[in-house]
Amino acid sequence: MNYKKLIEMALQYRKRAYCPYSNFKVGAAALFENEAAFGGCNIENASFGATNCSERTAIFKGISEGFISLRAIAIVGSLEEYTYPCGICRQVINEFATKDTIVIIARSVDDYIVMKFDEIFPGSFSKEDLIGNSKSSV
């Protein structure tokens, strides 16, 4: 897996961000099985609840093309601070992550942090927690 290629893709999508209200651009690149990669940017809306984050945009593009196993995701927001995914994005990542999914938080192609997903979302709620699955107890 080439982290720098994913970061470069995230940086390109960051430029496409539609953020007239916050002026906070974020780009993401999601890597799925078979090395299929999809980019996304944040897309704001005057009705703030309709806003979509870059991570979800990238993931949903991959899912809509038939990929479901998220291997890695690179995220670039501020070029001065590391920008981590919000709680909603962490929940969406969790839905498609494997035990080995990597999260790359970058400020540039040469300045980034690499973590396993469960390091940034411990104790997550997943499909295994729903009633009827083996992990549930009611």
Encode pLDDT of 111-132 as tens digits. Answer: 999 999 999 999 899 888 886 6
**CATH fourth-level superfamily of 3-129:** Cytidine Deaminase, domain 2 (3.40.140.10)
Beta strands in the chain (DSSP E): 27-32, 37-41, 70-76, 97-108, 111-116
Give per-residue pLDDT as tens, 53-101. Answer: 999 999 999 999 999 999 999 999 999 999 999 999 999 999 999 989 9
**H-state helical runs in 65-109:** 87-96
The residues annotated as belonging to the active site are 55
